[in-house]
């Protein structure tokens, strides 16, 4: 992203509309790939003290449902906000939340990637109604109804039933 024009003139603003392909990545033991390019729309404004960047990041990840283990596309649509301070105006206070703008060329892919990772949920679920897998036979309960469901008895009730039978 080239911010030369904005960097030199106070009050100047520029709009970026970028579509970029991101490589698959790993996070802990899970690996993720993108099922759509990353679409970034940003407004960059020179406030005289810093350059403010705000906009949205949109993409889709190919993930595995934590309940039924089927792959599905998980849409991500997040706000993006950054502040890059000019070295001359960069106070310690400002740098607590802002980055330092030292060049005309800014590579924001790393920042975008960080935002994406932060926005990921602990567990992906394909739909609120997802029935998951049968704990006994492993059948995908969204696709089939297995017959073992009624036979699963809570061990505590099983013990109680036995105790009552002995009584
Ligand atoms: Zn599911
Ligand atoms: Zn079953």
Quick check: helix, strand or coil at residue 36? coil
Report which bound ligand comes closest to the CA of 67.
1
Residue 101 banded pLDDT, cuts 50, 70, 90: confident
Residue 33 banded pLDDT, cuts 50, 70, 90: very high
Over 60: is that where the pLDDT of 16 sits? yes
Per-residue confidence (pLDDT) for residue 163, from 0 to 100: 63
Q: Looking at the structure, tell me whether residues 103 and 60 fall in a common domain.
A: yes
- From residue 42, alpha-carbon distances to 13, 88, 124, 158 in Å are 10, 24, 28, 61
Q: Looking at the structure, tell me whether residues 92 and 145 fall in a common domain.
A: no
Per-residue confidence (pLDDT) for residue 110, from 0 to 100: 87
Over 90: is that where the pLDDT of 19 sits? yes
Tell me: the pLDDT tens digits for 49-59? 889 999 999 99
Over 90: is that where the pLDDT of 8 sits? no
Q: Contact at 8 Å (CB) between 6 and 16?
A: no
Q: Looking at the structure, tell me whether residues 103 and 135 fall in a common domain.
A: no
Ligand 2 centroid, distance to 146 Cα (angstroms): 5
Q: Looking at the structure, tell me whether residues 125 and 59 fall in a common domain.
A: yes
C-alpha–C-alpha distance, residues 145 and 139, integer Å: 8
Residue 103 banded pLDDT, cuts 50, 70, 90: confident
Ligand 2 centroid, distance to 127 Cα (angstroms): 20
The domain total for the chain is: 2
**Residues in contact with 70: Cβ distance below 8 Å, sequence separation at least 6, in sequence order:** 64, 126, 140, 142
Per-residue confidence (pLDDT) for residue 111, from 0 to 100: 87
Residues, CB within 5 angstroms of ligand 1 (ion) = 65, 67-68, 126, 130
Q: Looking at the structure, tell me whether residues 136 and 54 fall in a common domain.
A: no
Ligand 1 centroid, distance to 7 Cα (angstroms): 47
Per-residue confidence (pLDDT) for residue 87, from 0 to 100: 82
Per-residue confidence (pLDDT) for residue 17, from 0 to 100: 94
Closest CA to 43 of 68, 71, 6: 6
Q: Looking at the structure, tell me whether residues 74 and 21 fall in a common domain.
A: yes
Q: Looking at the structure, tell me whether residues 30 and 91 fall in a common domain.
A: yes
Q: Looking at the structure, tell me whether residues 41 and 119 fall in a common domain.
A: yes
Q: Looking at the structure, tell me whether residues 88 and 61 fall in a common domain.
A: yes
Domain that holds residue 159: 131-167
C-alpha–C-alpha distance, residues 97 and 62, integer Å: 32
**Residues in contact with 62: Cβ distance below 8 Å, sequence separation at least 6, in sequence order:** 32, 33, 34, 35, 71, 72, 73, 74
Tell me: the pLDDT tens digits for 144-167? 988 885 555 566 666 666 666 666
**Residues in contact with 158: Cβ distance below 8 Å, sequence separation at least 6, in sequence order:** none
Ligand 1 centroid, distance to 59 Cα (angstroms): 20
Quick check: helix, strand or coil at residue 88? helix
Residues, CB within 5 angstroms of ligand 2 (ion) = 134, 136-137, 139, 146, 148
């Amino acid at each position: 992203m080239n911010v030369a024009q904005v960097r030199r003139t106070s009050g100047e603003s520029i709009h970026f509309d970028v579509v970029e392909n991101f490589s698959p990545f790993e996070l802990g033991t899970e690996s993720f790939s993108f099922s759509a390019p990353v679409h970034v729309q940003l407004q960059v404004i020179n406030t005289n003290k810093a350059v403010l960047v705000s906009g949205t990041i949109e993409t889709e990840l190919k993930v595995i449902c934590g309940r039924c283990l089927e792959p599905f596309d998980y849409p991500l649509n997040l706000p993006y906000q950054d502040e890059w301070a000019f070295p001359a105006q960069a106070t310690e206070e400002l740098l607590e939340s802002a980055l330092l703008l030292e060049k005309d060329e800014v590579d924001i892919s790393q920042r975008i990637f960080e935002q994406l990772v932060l926005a990921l949920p602990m567990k992906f679920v394909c739909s609120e109604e997802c029935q998951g897998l049968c704990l006994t036979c492993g059948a995908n309960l969204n696709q089939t109804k297995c017959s073992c469901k009624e036979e699963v008895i809570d061990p505590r009730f099983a013990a109680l039933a036995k105790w009552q039978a002995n009584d």
